[in-house]
Chains A and B, each alone.
Chain A
């Protein structure tokens, strides 16, 4: 039942001009490629043989009903399943032509290329705002105060949090509101200067205003990063993403440009889902 429709975005496909796409499809490079990824928990497959290609400087949304394996798939793009007991990942995840799952590489080094924002804000509770943003740098050996200051300001500005905390960087991270905490987590992920940003329902616990701010952030960040976002909210997917993958029961059902997927879905399931018949 897996219908992989990857051709429309494939490099080998004929140059199709969609006026709404502001980037030329041909010249876009694939930043990240997941090939035949299967994730199983204790013998049960949560993600089945998913192949997806992510282009540089695009936002890709993963949608689908609860339990369809979106988050599981997202986490294996960063080898987060290493921490989970009885999770098994098969397949390849290539980032810049390096297989994340090959035995030779050190996942720690490559995780620094991939930032991750989690569903629930999880700033380090014992650290201040400043320390939270710099945690990934300091604990990886960056000591230069000037550089740290610079990166803090830069990352917080990118996460739209700078104006709210600039006078109070020493304040404890958990004194911030939920939305601020989530933006702090985005800033923390950006501070390690990743190339790919994975976001697992970053706005699910936030109010509409905070959500809007985070979406603005995402659109802004697209210029420098490759972003993959899991969302329950189809409107959000339409608003922020260039490509959308629809997953159902562990299978990738359809994967193409967001506008096309929502307006002219090829697959019957996708059509039902995006029209709100189930989900």
Chain B
């Protein structure tokens, strides 16, 4: 055996030898990871179970469609709140998603300068802003100026929460799209905006949809900014310029009341809110994931499957 071979033998002997011990460590890591997941899931699961158990008894056709009855009577329902939540989610998305997507495109495709770095930092800070501050901001900017609470103010506050999340996730998913597609587009003599909107965006779609859903779920449950902006009401929608009810607000008000019937209605409202958010998530995901062999990742998954076959 020459000296080089000897060295190689030495190197090999440096590796850890006890296989049993290493298998044990492997097992231990697996157990730790798994138990952490369990610990994280327990509160989530127990909340869901609690909400279902208490809320399901409150739900009836009247509860879902009627206006709230007199306080403590246990009559009436949360019709206006459901309507208000849907309206306000829709309106905030209408304002927040385009702005967020455009900012995300700016950050990813044109984001190689000082301004973009500043915007990105600001955006990250903005994302973590306490929502009540955005509520107060909307209160000062719109409610005080117009002179009364309105849906516009609520949608404005919620879209402020929404757009940093959408911008960030859009940026991240656009950055995931390999540079080669942009190069291919450039080599075809396409303009930059055409490449961005027709090639890069369609490849990044599923990531962006996830971001939008995340932001929708987030604003669906926001209470604090709504107190400052749409106030709450017991009437169905009359105008965008008037106060309106929303599920989180209704839950908050009902839970403050000292009556059992009101608390029960609160549970029911919470269950309805969870189902609405879940419904929006599933519907949008289903629409984008199944209909389309359109998303980039779905195609990758499909390709993988083909290879596996």
Known: A124-B184, A125-B181, A126-B299. A172 touches B293 (CB 8 A): yes
How far is A85 from B179 in the complex, measured between Cα atoms in Å? Answer: 13
Does any Cβ of B come within 8 Å of A90's Cβ? no
Does any Cβ of B come within 8 Å of A78's Cβ? yes
- What are the 8 closest A-B residue pairs judged by CB atoms, nearest first? A112-B189, A136-B188, A116-B187, A122-B180, A111-B189, A126-B202, A122-B184, A139-B194
The reply to whether A80 and B187 form a contact with Cβ atoms under 8 Å apart is yes
Does any Cβ of B come within 8 Å of A30's Cβ? no
Q: What chain B residues lie within 8 Å of A118 (beta carbons)?
A: 180, 183-184, 187
The reply to whether B183 and A125 form a contact with Cβ atoms under 8 Å apart is no
Known: A124-B181, A124-B199. A174 touches B187 (CB 8 A): no
How far is A85 from B183 in the complex, measured between Cα atoms in Å? Answer: 13
Q: What chain B residues lie within 8 Å of A80 (beta carbons)?
A: 183, 186-187
How far is A155 from B294 in the complex, measured between Cα atoms in Å? Answer: 24
Interface residues of B, Cβ cutoff 8 Å to A: 112, 178-191, 194, 198-199, 202-203, 205, 293-296, 299-300, 302-303, 306
A-B contact count (CB 8 A): 86
The reply to whether B299 and A125 form a contact with Cβ atoms under 8 Å apart is yes
Does any Cβ of B come within 8 Å of A179's Cβ? no
Q: What are 16 sample pairs from A and B whose C-beta atoms fall under 8 A apart?
A: A78-B187, A110-B189, A111-B186, A112-B188, A118-B183, A122-B181, A122-B183, A123-B184, A126-B205, A127-B202, A136-B188, A136-B189, A139-B194, A172-B293, A172-B299, A192-B188
Q: What chain A residues lie within 8 Å of B295 (beta carbons)?
A: 126
Q: What chain A residues lie within 8 Å of B179 (beta carbons)?
A: 83
How far is A192 from B296 in the complex, measured between Cα atoms in Å? Answer: 25
Quote the shortest CB–CB distance from B292 to chain A (angstroms): 9
* B295 closest partner in A (C-beta): A126
The one of A82, A127, A172 in contact with B302, judged by C-beta atoms closer than 8 angstroms, is A172
Does any Cβ of B come within 8 Å of A188's Cβ? yes
The reply to whether A108 and B180 form a contact with Cβ atoms under 8 Å apart is no
How far is A81 from B293 in the complex, measured between Cα atoms in Å? Answer: 33
The reply to whether B186 and A83 form a contact with Cβ atoms under 8 Å apart is yes
The reply to whether B180 and A111 form a contact with Cβ atoms under 8 Å apart is no
Q: What chain A residues lie within 8 Å of B185 (beta carbons)?
A: 124, 135, 139
How far is A192 from B184 in the complex, measured between Cα atoms in Å? Answer: 12
Does any Cβ of B come within 8 Å of A278's Cβ? no
Known: A83-B182, A172-B299, A175-B302. A192 touches B189 (CB 8 A): yes
